[in-house]
Chains A and B, each alone.
Chain A
């Protein structure tokens, strides 16, 4: 073997440029193959989630909605000295406890394109003040103090665990593959409300605008929420929320 190498070196005498070209060609091939592999193994083509604190660009009015007034209320003059013409038909109603409305609550979330089909259960607020989520990532929680699907205004908030010790990755993880225009369906008993995705964003939890996420007024909107970003193994928390915003379709 030594002899072979020596003899090859001998033969290479005066052909240094040729050897350099060989190494260069090998490096080029390596680079091409590496880049090619990187390209083939890249993340999906879906628009990368943008890290922005702005949750919703759906044109929620900046002005707070006016307090509810009776349709028969007079337009109050600003001059208190001027005689006020009160409505004589100001409505009065029995001050008794009205029974809670029996409207159906959401029970199923489906996103056909990415294979999400999950039961929905009503949830409230945990002891620590955060939204309470079903313990299992197999179920989606609906924030029952917010809007129902089909309500004329406000945000309907659905959230599920991305993953859980002893369970693994939940079906909601597929929301990261959603793109603008994808159809989301929320069923409430006999009624079905369809939505179209407008944005998929990943937002640091520290900058998430919770008042917008859980808006009680403004345009009707669906927010599907899970976690994303980096995982803190000590706190057992992700540092971002993935928020899918979708608008109801008629």
Chain B
């Protein structure tokens, strides 16, 4: 396989997270890796150490906690070893502490394998909502992303993302060439689970006709509803009020009756004398 040495443009992509990384002390970052280069099973090395072996296209790793810092990443053919030829190589990839990052091995618009680190937005969403993120990581021109037939995200280009907070639920998503109704990928049902960031990747190659969607879901961004409005009639309040009125009437009545009885009894006693 021809060796390609491609330096990933990492600084720009990671800049927003670097600005908000608060504590000065070292913090771990959450890193996932997505393999979106068609046709190649690979091994991944970080700083010369094996990170991942027999990594297949279209698969995503579990999140990995990595100390913040700078990493030299290298992707080789499976079994090539740490010194093997690099299919992709990226030096000095900055991993900011506390950030949630997905490193994507994918094709550039021109069809060359590259590594792009994306910072995942893990800020809270309102109750009942989900965050939808779409990333263009395919060897394809600009696209629009449609949700249930309507254009949701417009003019997305490789290697960029667009996102929106939407109602949770399942959408029928497809990808069309920008400004057209020519479907490039899909449609596919995508479950936007409440309180998640659901990240949809368009990957593959238009020329090779293997464009596909990959989905990553990051949970834990839920919020509680604003309250529980569980009564609008006021009948319970009315009943309580009515019950109170009846109660005080009963108390007063009983007191008056008892007092009257005693007075009457004493009067009779007096009369009898």
The judgment on whether A and B are partners is yes
Q: Which residues of A contact B (CB under 8 A)?
A: 8, 11-12, 22-23, 25-34, 36-38, 41, 67-70, 72-73, 76-80, 83-86, 88-98, 100, 124-126, 128-131, 133, 137, 143, 145, 159-169, 172-173, 205, 208, 210-211, 213-214, 216, 225-228, 230-231, 233, 236-238, 241
Most buried by A among B215, B254, B261: B254
- Interface stretch (choices B11-19, B62-70, B139-147, B158-166): B62-70
Interface: B50 (CB within 8 A): yes
Q: How many A-B residue pairs have CB under 8 A?
A: 260
Residues in B whose Cβ lies below 8 Å from that of A161: 230-233
Within 8 A of A (CB), among B38-72: 46-53, 55-56, 58-70
Asked if B23 CB lies within 8 Å of chain A CBs, one says no
> Which one of A8, A92, A160 lies within 8 Å of B59 (CB-CB)?
A92
The 9 closest A-B pairs by CB, nearest first: A125-B128, A227-B231, A163-B233, A80-B69, A30-B259, A33-B258, A70-B62, A162-B231, A231-B237
Query: Interface on B for A, CB 8 Å cutoff?
Result: 26, 28, 30, 33-35, 46-53, 55-56, 58-70, 126-128, 168, 170, 188-191, 194-195, 201, 214-216, 220, 222, 224-237, 239, 247, 250-263, 266, 270-271, 273
The complex places the Cα of A35 from the Cα of B259 at a distance, in Å, of: 13
Name the residue of chain A whose CB is nearest to the CB of B53. A88
CB within 8 A of A83: which of B47, B52, B258? B47
Q: How far is the CA of A128 from the CA of B273 in the complex (A)?
A: 78
Residues in chain B near residue A92, CB distance under 8 A: 33, 35, 52, 55-56, 59-62
Query: Which residue of chain A has its CB nearest to the CB of B257?
Result: A33
Contacts of A126 in B (CB 8 A): 225, 229
| Given A130-B228, A131-B225, A163-B233, A78:B62 Cβ within 8 A | no
| Minimum C-beta distance from A173 to chain B (A) | 6
Q: Would A95 and B34 be within 8 Å (CB), given that A131-B225, A233-B234 are in contact?
A: yes
A169 with B28: in contact, given A26-B266, A94-B59 (CB under 8 Å)?
no
**A166: chain B residues within 8 A (beta carbon):** 233
**B258 is contacted by which of A23, A32, A137, A226 (Cβ under 8 Å)?**
A32
Q: Which of A90, A129, A163 contacts B231 (CB 8 A)?
A: A163
Chain B proximity of A176: nearest CB distance (Å):
9
Q: Which chain B residue has the least Cβ–Cβ distance from A28?
A: B262
Contact of A38 (CB < 8 Å), options: B235, B239, B251, B257: B251
- B170: chain A residues at CB < 8 Å are 100
Contacts beyond the supplied A126-B225, A163-B233, A227-B231: 6 A-B pairs with Cβ under 8 Å: A22-B270, A76-B65, A80-B67, A95-B34, A124-B194, A226-B228
Residue of B nearest to A4 (CB): B271
Q: For residue A94, which residues in chain B have a CB less than 8 angstroms away from its CB?
A: 58-60
CA A147 to CA B173, docked complex, whole Å: 28
Chain A residues with CB under 8 Å of B53's CB are: 88-89
